[in-house]
Structure 1
Amino acid sequence: MNDYLKDSKNKSERLLNIKRTAIALLVNSILLPSAYAAETENKDEEIETIVVSGIAQSYRNAINDKRAAPTIVDSLSSSDIGALPDLSVAETLERITGVTGDRFKGNASEISIRGLGPFLGMSTVNGRAISSGSGNRSVAFSQFPSELVNGVTVYKAQTADLLEGGVSGLIDLKTIRPADYGKERLQAEIKLNYNPYQAKLNDDDGVGHKTSFSYTNTLDTDLGELGFAFGYAGGKTSSPEESYNTSSTLRDCNSDYLSDGGSNCSFKDDNTAAKDGKALNGDYYYISNLFYYRQMESIEDRDAAIVALQWKPNDSIDINIDGQWSNRNYFEDRHDLYFDDGRRRIHDWTTNEEHALTSYSGESRISSYGEYRVRDEEYKGVGFNLEWQVNDSLKVTADAAYSGTERYQDTTYARFRSNRLFYQWEAGDNQSFANIKNVYTDKNDPAGSSVDWLTEIQDLSFFSGDSEARTYRFDIKDTINSYKLDAVYTLEDGFFSTINLGMASSSHKHLNYQEERLSQGTPSADRPAKIAALEEQCQIDWPQKDYGEDANSPVTQWATFDTKCGHSLLLGDTVLAPDPKAPTAGDIDLVEDVTSIYALTNFVTTIGDKYLTGNFGVRYVTTDVTSKSIRTAYDVETDQDGFVSITPNNEIEYNVYKNSYSNILPSLNLSLELDDDLILRGAVFAGISRPDMWYMGAGRNMNINTNDEQYTTVEEALVGNVSALGNPFVEAIESKNYDINLSWYYETDTMLSAALYYKTFNAKFSSETKAEGVTIDGQEYTAQVTGIPTVKDDESSIKGLELTLMHKFNSLPAPLDGLGISTTYNYADSDFETPEAGSSFSSQEVRDMIEPANLAGLSKHNFTNQLYWEGDALSIRLSYKYRSEYLKPFGSNLSQTNRIVDDTQSVDLSTAYKINKNFKLKFQVLNLTNEAYAEQRVTHGAFNRIEYSGTKYFLGLQYRM
């Protein structure tokens, strides 16, 4: 039978030692110094039980879970709450084969499985869907601190009893069931963190803190066995940033100001670069609307708690109640130096082979920006689960849960600009910021008219050209109510071992209030007084030392101001208070109701002397979407000349759109024991992933301006002026999936696994134009609505290879027997194409010449290696992670240029020392080599973001009883 506790009793001790030595030699030859090879002599030893804890225990549990699972899974877990040796759940997930994170600001987020982006995955906690504070379905794993979680499982193949929603896979977080744990455990930890980049800030020592505690116990009472657990984790951490950035808009140009004239650069056949023929035959370049250098402080305060109650009144009933709560508040204090006119009067330009600029000259205003952003986010989750063993054959499980998230953000912004100057720009690379070689006043004499701009920008009076204040606010509420009922009937004899039946329903409510913005400029007559007051009342010292040192920044500081003070000064008696809850066409107000039923049967048989186990089943899913649209009402008047005037009034029109669709999801999972320690698994299943909520809004934007143009009919006025802000009729993405996995469990702490997978799916989002009914002044008209999000009927595929090796060198003599490794590699290749869709390019012909990106989140190569040593008191783990480049989309905007994250790698260190049976000292380092984060747009060399956030150090003391 497929039982991971089964010993290889039919193997001789000599054969076990040979296999042990062979694997050790293989691993040594790849990852360890050859000096250890002499220690791996083939000796006949007596097999003994080896007790492990900490790192080794999490890997042993992973091996056991994979061997026992009814389908293809990978996991990391511990029986104790908070015993996983990682700083975050996302860090734990990245140790699992084929799982990668987007390491933004030095922290892992936006998890992808097997090269398929976050939007094709599904995440649950204790088997229940999790709400999200964004407009998509990705989960903020940071709201579940690793100190309060004891396991994560990634289901890479589907069974009919699992929640649908993950084409790539399903991630399930586990919290403790205290009565099953069965022990009393008190744990407390205080952890100090040190961030050298934070320590650069004035009057800041760079030190933050995290604290956590948890208590678990089980009581035998007259009412039965009662287990309870509660825990808290919280702290204050920093994520400072030094970065170079460009705007999200990219344009193609082939003009040269000195030859062609004009202001903003353009793309024309008669420009200088195209004189020998058509424009596309000559050289051209891609350029952003602006670029800037950013200095930023970011502080996060987070509190999280869990509670679990388990009651077993008798041997037949098991009742569990669990809850999770998280509250996150963070602020970002940004100071930016902008070159606002990125496309103005471009000349003397050079490019690389892919038309990315390597140098150019231009003219721009230089600005000092301040932005202060505050975000509050709260998560609440609670679940109830009842298991009833009705009799020896029948088990019934009922589950009900709630998950809710609210996110609110308020942004204060102030800007002060200089007059225009010429400048010479030089490209950086994935480690260095772009360089400004010279700033000057005469385009014909750069050297003779050079300005000491690095000195000039230290004075706020330099930025006296114009100024503006803005306020932005948004609010998102997302809730899920879910219910499940499952029954398992065990059969005594025959091919089938169980019959599983169940149903599930959920109601997902998403209310996404569009970000509202209000602004106020400064009249030219008031600008001198405003800048003088700014210098007197709001100017601050440069906030830090050594800015841009690691990035070879051309600028190390500039005149800055307190953003909130500058904002208040610009407004005077005016109050900018945008109300995000005021109804606008961009609001998303939808309910997604899902009902599913399933039937599944498990079976056990033999093929010759080999055990074959598995299951097959089918899940039928119905999805009902109700989306409310908000539109401004219009009045229509006809003047004496017969021209119509269409003007908005103060009324709001609401319309409700409903869509319903169904999916049938069959699945088959097989597990064949080729030998006592060799298991072959296969899976064939259909899956779905639902589109992100921001695609399912029903808003329509009417951009009708009868002051600029004259129309004789309403129909004429509507042409080209109605655009979509969502599509409630977009449906789930279906996939067909094929997996095969071979795993060799040659001993308790060693596994070698290889998997092949192949998936076909339709996941190409694009926009289309359709005729829709539009109500104007109480009358129905037909209009062509542009920009409707849709999934194209264009099948794509992905194929991949996964390799996993886990091994602990138990056969080596002490102290080398504490060595262990975990190495994972995933290769993914897809014929999926994300064509360039940037709306700012001059023509579709130009877009077609740009190489398409791949699937969002897909990295062709992912590699992780964990090398650890663990003794009785001391443990050390060195981790290396590598991820090749991947596409990172911009939310729901389908007309943005493709953004590619450059190859990323990081080295992390984790150590722990057990002082005694109660106390443990921990030391951890993230991003040990201070790797930069880099993004490119459209083509290699066109860097739009280079970010440094520094190495992070953690020192903690843990108490366990």
Structure 2
Amino acid sequence: MQVWFGGREPRVVARGRSILLAGASVICWAVAAPAFAQDAQDAPVVTEDATLDEVVVTGTRRTMQSSIETKRQEATIVDALTADEIGDLPALSVGEAIETITGAASHREKGGASEIAIRGMGPFLGASTFNGREASNGSGDRSVNFNQFPSELINQIKVYKTQQANLIEGGVSGLVELGTLRPLDFNRRRIQIEGKVNYNPYEDRLLNQPSPGYRGTLSFVDQFDLGGLGKLGLSLGFQRNDVTNPEEVYNASSTWVACNATTTQTGNCAEVSRAQAAAGTPFYLVPNSYIFRQIEEDDTRDAWFGAVQWRPNDRLNVNLDYQYSDRSYNERRNELGISEGRYGLTNRVVDENHVLQAVTGNSSIETNSTFKNRSETYEGAGLNIEYFVNESLTLKGDVSWSHTLRNETDRNVRLRSDPLDIYGVRTPMNNQRVPYTMDLRNGPVPTFTIDPRFDITNHDLFSDDARIRRDQSQRDHEIFAGRFDATYEPADGFFTAFDAGVRYSTMTFTDFDNRVEFTQDDRAVDRAANLLCRTAFPQNDFLDSSSSNSIKRWATFDAVCLFEAYSGVPDTGLPIDIRAVENRDVSEDVWAAYGMASFAGMAGDLPFRGNVGLRVVDTQVTSKGLRADLNVVDNGDGTISLVPTGEFDEVVIEHGTTRWLPSLNLTFELKDDLLLRGGLFRAMSRPAPSALGAGRIITVDSGADYSNVADALRNITANGSPRLEPLMSWNADLSLEYYANRDSMFALAVYAKQFTGGFRPVAYDETFVIDGQSVTVPVVQTENSDDESTLLGFEVTGAYRFSSLPAPFDGLGIKVSYSYADLDFENEDVRLGDVIDAATGAVTEGMIPPAGLSGLSKDVLSAQLYYQIGDLDLQAIYKYRSDYYQDFVGGNSQLRYVHGAGTLDLRASYQFGRDTRLQFEAINITDEPRIEDMPVWGSTRGYYAYGSKYYVSMRRRF
């Protein structure tokens, strides 16, 4: 795969790739269509339970068949992945399973699929439910963390592309519905045990190689006859997952500054304002710091799933389900930092997009040792009762609870360069700051050349500015919900069903970020800690996946050892008072009601069916924040901090919205095997809970001398916007679907979305009392605009099994899906983009171009090739997503772009009889990294290398 160094692909190439991908999909259909028609006439339709010499369809082929049948029977435009058996989803995780569905793509974290984008649109525009209910999240957004749910305990995934009134809002891009089986509906006993061993090639580079990772899964399903009490079904599942995820990272800071390109200074570069840039002042973009990071990780997850289904008679059906997931991982981070990215910059090479391609600078060099622990617990439960009053009327009630608690703790010690080493001997540099050069022209990772007089592998040279820091954050997200639905089915007539219902939910989201920090400058203490806690660099061949990387190793230390050596205890813990102006406290109450009518009829000789409905949603948001006077604290290392005086005032902001969401879905049966579907609907996508915070983030620039505090306080941002409203869209979809047989189908869908209510940065003047003096600072937050934008897109899906070929080639099958979307949406950078003065409405022109819609990829491709013959089942899955803009969780941050990437996964299994399966899986075998730019294309911000992963498993059913 060709990589375009220094930024985004050329427009001609990007457009060419779009055309090629679209053309490939159409050609696949053109080549396969005649065979489709032939198979439709010649191939017998064999159901799973049909008996032709005991032929039973299983494995990948059966999953394909179930998914095709689910899509065919739905009333809306839906793509699905369905397995009749627990553990048959063809993917390592739920996120990776969803990626095989048409138009679905993921944002990769730690080498695996995490949050999902539908039709190339970001997670923010979608919605996710678990067994028909909202699920909480530890990230601060509304996306489901699919890594929390074992794919072995999920048996159905649906992606609704069009909406209907009885769905929970649905989202602008679509709705992802995860489902677990109901034990009585399963209608057979099943005990299943699976063991899986994991190997990561990146582990071979580690000096202390971990034990192989593993995953163990146990599930049980059975049904019991209770006599006069009816039937009881029970489903239980447990999984233990213990793996390692080594990672290599180059990263720049998340704050980028526009520096004056005409001046040369010995200190920090002179920052250029929007007004100065508009007047013609040349500038270049530079981060505050650069970091190389080596990570070792242990990742453990325990998950429990349970369901009880009770059917006392033919009229009553009771379902109770519970899910529990407890995930914990520890990271040992070793970082080399060029901590003063703006200091003493000369010999600059700047391109026409203001990207700093090469530079000479001076900076303190630091080594950071961090031990990070994250624990995340998810619990969800629901009670669903169905009562069939008579043949026409059904009543349903559902109550649910979902709660996620995420705690993250970092213990970090920083050691810096100094004119003297730990023994008090002058270093060859005789200076704290070390000359270096940075060159971005050689590849995605900048080539750094640090003055050879400063040996970054020499522990003795990291002897100054010891900073001991403990950071802890907590995210607490909880949802209670209840709904009541009624369905009336007339005996005959044009209308086949009438549905109505009400729903209430209350959501709370709270978080805090706490920092305990102190510095020390006693060289004897530094020397003792330095000598005690030294480690060899933990791995070989650091970041050799990027040929442009020049940093291979540096002096490293044991983080826990250093922390205890300086603080006297392994962990200082939380202070008594964790109140802070950054904290969020958001609650949201939602009332919704809907009515929907389903119908079926004939238009001449043409059968049709569908539904029409209206959903009304009323939302009330209450956001609480803290404000405090601040004191200036000298950190003792040339920097300052601002700390609250301890007295806080509470600010409460309330905001409400009411939205009407009409929908119409219509399906025409052009032939028995040819359907034409259409959908018209209005959809909404809510802001993330963390984006509704009322707190403030106060950042003080480090490593600089300021004449007054106001100069240091240029970067004050709101950590949310409580008055941010849902993004609304009107949507039109049309889908033509051809079902040749149970193994083969083709679908072409076109769609349009008109968005109303974009986003724009707005500056509000706020007054802060610092050291007894009032300082007025413009605080930027995001608000809705009246802008309108239009998205146009199409999807192509083809699934085909070559059953007409002679044996053994008749076991070959393929599924290819491609999605294209284009949108004229704009997101401005909060520091460098257009900004509106809240008092006057005046717009100050930005310095860099805006981004598009967060998460929008123009091209999304998924291709699956499988071969199933006898007991052998082989599968190759290729997934590609073009580049996209990815907002940070919580919003009000600068622009970040993610490069497009394609990954290849392989899977092979062999069935020993009916009950035993051996399987091999290979994930990301091309070792595709994730590359990020910021705040414009071509300016590398991050390079994340994870490597490939391999799994071998054995499953036994009883």
- Pairwise TM-score range, normalised by the shorter structure: 0.7 to 0.9
What residue number does 1:550 align with?
545
Q: Aligned residue for 1:672?
A: 668
- Residues in 1 aligned to 2:891 and 2:728: alpha-carbon distance in whole angstroms: 22
Q: Does 1:799 align with 2:792?
A: yes
Please tell me whether residue 435 in structure 1 is matched to residue 447 in structure 2: yes
Which residue identity is paired with 2:144? V
Residues paired across the two proteins, number: 885
CA contact (8 A) 1:740 1:755 kept: yes
Answer yes or no: is the 8 Å Cα contact 2:77–2:161 preserved in 1: yes
Counterparts in 2 of 1:721 and 1:435: CA distance versus 1, 3 Å:
closer
Amino acid at match of 1:757: Y
- Aligned partner of 1:540 in structure 2 is 535
Q: Conserved in 1, the CA contact under 8 Å of 2:731 and 2:752? A: yes
d(CA) in 2 for partners of 1:185, 1:133: 33
Structure 1 letter corresponding to 2:393: L
Matched, 1:890 2:883: no
Are the aligned partners of 1:868 and 1:876 in contact in 2 as well (CA < 8 Å)? yes
Amino acid at match of 2:81: L
Change (3 A) 1:633 1:264: closer
Give the match for residue 824 of structure 2.
831
Per-residue CA deviations over 1:154-208 (Å, capped at 9, x if unaligned) read: 1111111110151111111000101001001111100000001123212315621
Match status 1:251 vs 2:257:
yes
Q: State, as a whole percentage, how many aligned pairs show the same letter.
A: 35
Shift of 1:279: 8.1
Using the TM superposition, give the Cα deviation of residue 837 of structure 1 relative to its aligned residue in structure 2, in angstroms. Answer: 2.9
Structure 1 position 902, deviation (Å): 0.7
User: Closer, same or farther in 2 for the Cα pair 1:703/1:382, shift >3 Å?
Assistant: closer
How many angstroms does 1:659 deviate by?
A: 2.7
> 1:342-388 CA deviation, whole Å, 9 max, x = no partner?
12221222234433233221111211111111011100011111111
Corresponding residue for residue 698 of structure 1: 694
- Secondary structure at the aligned position of 2:846 is classed as helix
Aligned-partner residue type, residue 531 of structure 2: E
RMSD (CA atoms): 3.5
Task: Give the Å deviation of 1:940.
Answer: 3.2
1:461 Cα deviation from its structure 2 partner:
1.0
- After superposition, the Cα gap between the structure-2 partners of 1:901 and 1:38, relative to the gap in structure 1 and judged at 3 Å, is closer
* Cα contact 1:195–1:206 (8 A) shared by 2: no
SS of alignment partner, residue 304 of structure 2: strand
Contact 2:760 2:827 in 1 (8 A): no
Structure 2 match to 1:426: 439
Q: Please show how residues 903-922 of structure 1 align to structure 2 within 5 Å.
A: 903-922=900-919
**Aligned partners of 2:722 and 2:42: how far apart in 1?**
67
Change (3 A) 1:754 1:206: farther
CA separation of 1:773 and 1:463: change in aligned 2, threshold 3 A: closer
| AA at the equivalent of 1:760 | Q
Selected match of 2:756 from 756, 762, 767: 762
- Corresponding residue number in structure 1 for 2:234: 228
Instruction: Describe the SS at the equivalent of 2:665.
Output: strand
Aligned AA (1:826):
S
Q: Which residue of 2 aligns with 1:133?
A: 138
Alignment of 1:684-695 (within 5 A): 684-695=680-691
Mapping 1:357-396, distance limit 5 Å: 357-396=356-395
Query: Does 2:922 correspond to 1:925?
Result: yes
Q: Once the two structures are superposed, what CA deviation does each residue of 1:866-895 show, in whole Å capped at 9, x if it has no partner? A: 01101221111111111110011122242x
User: Deviation digits for residues 133-158 of structure 1, max 9, x if unmatched?
Assistant: 12221211111100110011111111
Classify 1:914/1:578 alpha carbon distance in 2 versus 1 (closer, same or farther; 3 Å).
same
Q: 1:349 to 1:651 in 2, by over 3 A?
A: closer
* Gapped regions of structure 1 (runs ≥ 5): 1-22, 441-450, 636-645
Shift of 1:28: 9.4
Determine the C-alpha separation between the residues in 2 that align with 1:680 and 1:41.
22
Q: CA deviation at 1:703?
A: 11
Which of 934-943 and 101-110 deviates more? 934-943
State how far apart, in whole Å, the 1-side matches of 2:385 and 2:716 are: 52
Deviation at 1:131, TM superposition (A): 0.7
1:516 and 1:43, CA in 2 relative to 1: closer, same or farther beyond 3 A? closer
For the structure 1 residues 899 and 773, does the alpha-carbon distance in structure 2 shift closer, same or farther, using more than 3 Å as the test?
closer
CA contact (8 A) 2:496 2:599 kept: yes
Q: Which residue of 1 aligns with 2:862?
A: 864
Aligned partner of 2:926: which letter? T
C-alpha spacing 1:789/1:754, structure 2 compared with 1 (3 Å): same
Identify which of 799, 805, 812 aligns with 1:812: 805
1:633, 1:346 → 2: CA distance?
A: 36
Greater Cα shift, 600-609 or 566-575: 566-575
C-alpha separation in 2, matches of 1:343 and 1:722: 19
The Cα shift of 1:268 comes to 7.0
Q: Is the 8 A contact 1:631 1:701 kept in 2?
A: no
Partners of 1:24 and 1:250 in 2: CA distance: 40
Are 2:524 and 1:529 aligned?
yes
Q: Which amino acid aligns with 1:669?
A: N
In 2, the alpha carbon distance for the partners of 1:904 and 1:602 equals 42
Question: Does structure 2 retain, via aligned residues, the 8 Å contact 1:768–1:788?
Answer: yes
Q: Which residue of 2 aligns with 1:91?
A: 96
Letter in 1 for 2:595: A
SS in 2 for 1:532: helix
Contact 1:899 1:938 in 2 (8 A): yes
CA contact (8 A) 2:733 2:752 kept: yes
Question: Post-superposition shift, 1:762?
Answer: 3.0
Partner of 2:515 in structure 1?
517
Distance (Å, rounded) in 1 between the aligned partners of 2:620 and 2:114: 30
Cα offset for 1:519?
1.3
Work out the CA distance in 2 between the residues paired with 1:599 and 1:41: 44
Residues 695 and 789 of structure 1 are in contact (CA less than 8 Å); yes or no, is this contact kept in structure 2? no
Stretch deviating more after TM superposition (690-699 or 928-937): 690-699
Cross-structure match for 1:729: 723
Determine if contact 1:165/1:688 at 8 Å carries over to the other structure: yes
Alignment match, 2:591: 595
Secondary structure of the 1:535 match is: helix
Looking at structure 1, the residues matched to 500 and 45 of structure 2 have their Cα atoms a distance apart, in angstroms, of: 43
Counterparts of residues 916-955 of structure 1 (less than 5 Å): 916-955=913-952
Name the counterpart of 1:443: none
C-alpha contact (below 8 Å) 1:227/1:310 kept by paired residues? yes
Which residue type is aligned with residue 856 of structure 2?
Answer: L
Q: Does residue 786 of the first structure (1) align with residue 799 of the second (2)?
A: no
Give the SS at the match of 1:262. Answer: coil
Does the C-alpha gap of structure 1 residues 45 and 112 become closer, same or farther in structure 2, counting only changes over 3 Å?
A: closer
Q: What is the letter of the counterpart of residue 533 of structure 2?
A: C
Equivalent residue number for residue 659 of structure 1 = 655
What amino acid is aligned across from residue 874 of structure 2 in structure 1? I
Q: CA deviation at 1:44?
A: 8.4
- Say which is worse superposed, 97-106 or 302-311, in terms of deviation: 97-106
Q: Which residue does 2:4 correspond to in 1? A: none
- The answer as to whether partners of 1:123 and 1:172 remain within 8 angstroms in 2 is yes
Distance in 2 between residues matched to 1:953 and 1:710, nearest whole Å: 56
Within 5 A, what are the aligned runs for 1:272-421?
280=280, 284-418=283-417, 419-421=432-434
Gaps of 5+ in 2: 1-23, 48-55, 418-431, 632-641, 701-705, 838-842
Alpha-carbon distance, 1:782 to partner:
15
SS of 1:848's equivalent in the other structure is: coil
Alignment partner of 1:486 is 2:485: yes
Q: CA deviation at 1:486?
A: 0.7
Structure 2 residue identity aligned to 1:793: D
Q: How far did 1:593 drift? A: 1.1
Residues of 2 paired with 1:572 and 1:921: CA distance? Answer: 51
CA gap of 1:248–1:71, structure 2 versus 1, over 3 A, is: same
CA distance in 1, matches of 2:43, 2:834: 72
Rounded Cα–Cα distance in structure 2 between residues aligned with 1:420 and 1:413: 22
* Paired amino acid for 2:935: V
- Of residues 83, 103, 107, the one that matches 1:102 is 107
1:753 to 747, 750, 753: 747
Equivalents in 2 of 1:44, 1:314: separation in Å?
44
Q: Which residue is 2:679 aligned to?
A: 683
Aligned partners of 1:467 and 1:315: how far apart in 2?
72
- CA change 1:601–1:464 in 2 (3 A) is same
Alignment-mate amino acid for residue 424 of structure 1: T
Between the aligned partners of 2:677 and 2:32, the Cα distance in structure 1 is: 28
Tell me if the contact between 1:200 and 1:206 (Cα under 8 Å) persists in the aligned partners. no
CA distance, structure 2, for counterparts of residue 649 and residue 360 of structure 1: 41
